[in-house]
DNA sequence: CTGATTGAGTGTACGATATACACAGTGTCG
DNA sequence: CGACACTGTGTATATCGTACACTCAATCAG
């Protein structure tokens, strides 16, 4: 096997379906295949690009490709991120991209990490750890909503790049100076990231809808229509009661946008929940 | 417009790219298109199948199609769920499916709702609301891990079907008898669903890896490799410190599987976090 | 300086996939 | 009985990712 640039290793592109029904050796081979592919994808995220001295100079670089790809996804969602579209946005042929990324997944990995960016430093006014964590959570949520296509990703086991780690680093730094053990910090980090991630789903869905140019009312109507079907259905007594109650607004899993008579917006709901989570963590800290 | 069975409404299948750059009327049209499509998808989820009286009897029904599709996804992930694969699993032509579902998205909607299933009733031994919620959360997490392809879905604005609602109904019922207002219940529901959803990501990733026949060590090695790159990197001082600390095991965003010297498993980490969240909610309840 | 070597970008082709469209057969109702 | 509505099929097409073979430029060894 020659060190052939970064080309993909798998010679046959789609033996996916023929997998798994054979012997154990085949399963082992598949596992090591997967491991090798993940290793390659991770390496692409972390290794700086080294220009070989021979041959013609490249006319683009990974970063410009990534920027073009992100612009497409920002504008029209992940489906618009096509190898052809990216290449022609840069004025190149589709296949030219494969000099920079061995396949689409690797390109998307890079897009994801670039899109995550680095978290903003907490403002100096944030004195307590709770304020710092809240600032971090809001920043993360804002970032996720600004790039709703991140939640659209079909490739779920994406490798973690430097920017992904930087968000976790920033959150850990919120906990510094509290005398916590590393284990405690990790536990707290898991809880906060879990809550923020899961609790942003609805907001992201709305953000994506907005990015596609759909008015908020259309989105709300679609979500509300499904919930509305519960009303009166004997299978959903509590849901019916809650949905028909005067307040109406705040919906399952996140929220509908604020409605008349209910001052709470989706963002306020998120912050309120975060306060509860932080209460729980604080209680644990002080009980030690 | 004749009541033409359930066929899709959009005559041109892919004017996606030509969208958004025109006038506002076009954007409005796109919005109403989207609204109509969502309405149709939602309706398919909720309406019982009505057999027309004329014509030959259908030889399959939506439910059998859904079961076949789910079996494919269970076995080989979402990528294996192909219209062709589903049809031939049932002994039909690809196009026959389009009599039952107007397009793949609608089929997947149905698969998602069917796969969610209904939550198990809390055992009689669960007396307090915290026990009930914990039971619910574990059930949901277990369900998500059993169907890791649910997290693989590229279509994010899926309509909410009856089973989706039933999970929320069950969670609301955990809160009954506490004298909560509907608003309070909704707020608490949002927090719990948010945490459970977000906090299950890592476990789901592992479950998917297992479903593909990858040994746990390979998955752990892949995740660990990325984290390991942080060690010694000046950009990630806290992360380095935490990762190199004696404990090692519990990783960002969830956890690596339990390792020597650290008794905590991923599930225990999840439950620990849930306890903190519930502490926070309880504190809010009793402070009223 | 010259020829070999290496690597960049192109053109073409293929396989997979969703799905439009036209058609054939079948069961029901007027 | 005959028209019609509806079911499943066969065929065709557009879109994608990407393998492969090729052209040409930049560099280095002699």
Q: What integer best gives the mean pLDDT of chain B? A: 84
Q: Find the Å distance, CA of residue A173 to C1' of nucleotide D21.
A: 53
Nearest residue by alpha-carbon distance to C1' of D28? A54
Split at pLDDT 50, 70, 90, the class of B288 is low
A 246-285 near B (Cβ less than 8 A)? 247, 250-255, 262, 269, 272-273, 275-281, 283-284
Q: Which of B175, B160, B161 is nearest to B281 (CA)?
A: B175
List, for residues A66-119, the tens digit of each pLDDT value: 999 999 999 999 999 999 999 999 999 999 999 999 999 999 999 999 999 999
Confidence of residue B27 (pLDDT cuts 50, 70, 90): low
Residue A256 to chain B, least CA–CA distance (Å): 11
Determine contact: B214 vs chain A, CB below 8 A. Answer: yes
Among the partner residues A16, A160, A161, nearest to B79 by beta-carbon distance: A16
Q: Do B157 and A253 touch (CB under 8 A)?
A: no
Q: Residue A288: what pLDDT?
A: 63
pLDDT for residue A250 is more than 70:
no
Q: How confident is the model at residue B128 (pLDDT cuts 50, 70, 90)?
A: very high
> Which of A168, A238, A280 lies nearest to residue B173, judging by beta carbons?
A238
Q: What is the pLDDT of residue A245?
A: 82
Lowest mean pLDDT among A90-99, A249-258, B137-146, B154-163: A249-258
CA of A7 to C1' of C11 (A): 19
Specify the pLDDT at position B137: 98
B262 has a pLDDT exceeding 80: no
Question: Residue ranges of the alpha helices (H) in A147-215?
Answer: 162-174, 182-199, 201-211
pLDDT at A155: 66
Cα angle: A251, vertex A255, A256; to 5 degrees: 85
Collect all residues with Cβ–Cβ distance below 8 Å to B180 and sequence separation of at least 6.
B188, B285
Strand D contact nucleotides, protein CB < 7 Å: 4-11, 14-21, 24-28
Quick check: B104 CB within 7 A of strand C?
yes
- pLDDT at site B247: 53
**pLDDT at position B3 over 60:** no
pLDDT at A247: 53
Q: Cα separation of A106 and A37, whole Å?
A: 10
Bigger pLDDT: B244 or A163? A163
Res. B26 pLDDT band, cuts 50 70 90: low
């Amino acid at each position: 096997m020659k060190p052939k640039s970064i080309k993909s290793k798998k010679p046959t592109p789609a033996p996916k379906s023929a997998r798994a029904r054979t012997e154990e050796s085949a399963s082992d081979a598949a596992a090591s295949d997967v491991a090798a592919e993940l290793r390659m994808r991770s390496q692409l995220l972390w290794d700086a690009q080294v220009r070989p001295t021979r041959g013609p100079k490249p006319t683009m670089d990974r970063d410009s490709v990534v920027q073009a790809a992100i612009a497409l996804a920002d504008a029209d969602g992940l489906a618009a991120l096509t190898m052809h579209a990216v290449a022609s946005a840069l004025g190149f042929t589709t296949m030219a991209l494969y000099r920079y990324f061995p396949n689409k997944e690797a390109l998307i990995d890079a897009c994801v990490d670039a899109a995550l960016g680095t978290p903003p430093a907490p403002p100096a006014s944030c004195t307590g750890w709770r304020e710092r964590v809240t600032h971090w959570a809001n920043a993360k949520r804002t970032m996720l909503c600004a790039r709703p296509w991140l939640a659209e990703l079909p490739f779920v086991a994406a490798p973690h790049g430097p920017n992904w780690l930087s968000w976790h680093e920033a959150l850990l730094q919120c906990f510094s100076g509290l005398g916590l053990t590393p284990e405690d910090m990790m536990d707290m980090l898991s809880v906060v990231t879990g809550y923020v991630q899961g609790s942003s789903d609805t907001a992201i869905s709305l953000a994506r809808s907005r990015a596609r140019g759909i008015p908020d009312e259309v989105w709300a109507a679609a979500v509300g229509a499904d919930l509305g079907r519960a009303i009166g259905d004997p299978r959903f007594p509590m849901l019916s009661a809650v949905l028909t109650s005067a307040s109406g607004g705040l919906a399952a899993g996140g929220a509908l946008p604020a409605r008349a008579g209910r001052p709470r917006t989706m963002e306020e709901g998120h912050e309120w929940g975060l306060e509860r989570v932080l209460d729980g963590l604080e209680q644990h800290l002080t009980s030690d």
